A = this chain, B = another copy of it.
Amino acid sequence: MPTARRRPYTPRMSPADRRKQLLDAAIEVIARDGYSAISIDAIAREADVTRPVVYGVFDDLGALLGALLDRQENRALEQLLTVLEPGPDMRDPDAYLAQTVRRLVEIVAGDPQTWRPILAAWDTTPEVVRERIARDRELVRSRMQSLLEVGLAMRGGPEIDAELGSHGLLAIAEYFGRQICEDPDRFSADRLVAMVEGLLASLGSHK
């Protein structure tokens, strides 16, 4: 007689620990199966817990993913803006750019689990998340635009549409960011930096 045994109880946790565990589980699911696979159910399974446990900590999937962003993206954005800080290095725009590219590659390659969900294509992502990523992205882009304007002025290059340019640069950065997450060896920092230096060299002399 199959007595339909109860599922063994998962070890209990304080709300704080449980919260952390669930966010980790969510990251794991996204990294492994993509955004389209994310669901309260999938997270609960990943954490080896039943759904009501998840609902005890987060109101719904949107809230959970919002919290996930609080944790991951704040740090990510900070890293990014630190690297894109206009500093004294700006006196030599070419060296600054090469340096920046190297740092960016290292940031992404060093923490793909954080970056993949941010950079990866997604259309399943809940509004909440999408909006925040878009907002941060625009922040980064406008920072890039400023840098571009300053850099171009210093270099004395031609009149370039800095807005369009920043869009283009960001598009490239995001693209290679995705590639780095997928295949870090193929798109190494050295290779990318070499490319940038080659381009800069052909752009003619400084100032």
Residues of A within 8 A of B (CB): 34-36, 120-124, 157-161, 164-165, 167-168, 171-172, 174-176, 179, 187, 191-192, 194-195, 198-199, 201-204
Contacts and interface: CB of A to CB of B under 8 A. Distances in A.
B201 A204 contact: no
A145 to B, nearest CB: 13
A161 B191 contact: yes
Contact of A168 (B34, B120, B158, B172): B172
Nearest to A179: B167
**Nearest 9 CB-CB pairings of A with B:** A171-B175, A121-B121, A158-B202, A36-B123, A122-B123, A157-B202, A164-B195, A158-B198, A168-B172
Contacts of A165: 195
A144 to B, nearest CB: 14
Copies of this chain in the oligomer? 2
Given A203-B203, A204-B202, A191 B168 contact: no
A157 to B, nearest CB: 5
Given A171-B172, A172-B168, A179-B167, A160 B199 contact: yes
A168 B204 CA distance: 21
Nearest to A35: B123
28 contacts: A34-B123, A35-B123, A36-B36, A36-B123, A36-B124, A120-B123, A121-B121, A121-B122, A122-B123, A157-B202, A158-B198, A159-B198, A161-B191, A161-B198, A164-B191, A164-B195, A165-B195, A167-B175, A167-B176, A168-B172, A168-B175, A168-B176, A171-B171, A171-B174, A172-B172, A175-B175, A203-B204, A204-B204
A104 to B, nearest CB: 14
